[in-house]
Amino acid sequence: MSRGLLVFVLQTFVCLAVALLGAWTLFRPKSFQAFVHENFGIFPSVKPGIQSITILIRLSSAFFLWYAYMLAQAFGAEILFLVHIVQHLAG
């Protein structure tokens, strides 16, 4: 049972991390762009005004949030399935 609990905790952590990444890229795209530019050099440097990269970052946030939602929904279904199995075995 401890192995299953570890897997559940890791799955929950990944879901939370993806949701927080999606929220970060949605609400503060220039901060995310500056972080990626300073640490990895992938995005161009942040400039004032509207840039196409910030629009792409906000679009990617929709994917991150959708993916986190789908993960959470799958975990809920997994938990309900496990509860059903335990009830079947117990009773």
Distance of CA 86 to the CA centre of its chain: 29
Q: What is the pLDDT of residue 5?
A: 82
Q: What is the pLDDT of residue 1?
A: 59
Give the type of residue at 40.
F
Residue 45 per-residue DSSP state: P
Query: pTM of the prediction?
Result: 0.81
Buried/exposed 26-35: b ≥16 CB within 10 Å, e otherwise? beebeebbee
The per-residue pLDDT for range 5-54, each reduced to its tens digit, is 888 889 999 999 999 999 999 999 999 999 999 999 998 888 888 789 99
* HSE-CB of 5 using CA atoms within 13 angstroms: 2
Contact present, 32 and 25 (Cβ < 8 Å):
yes
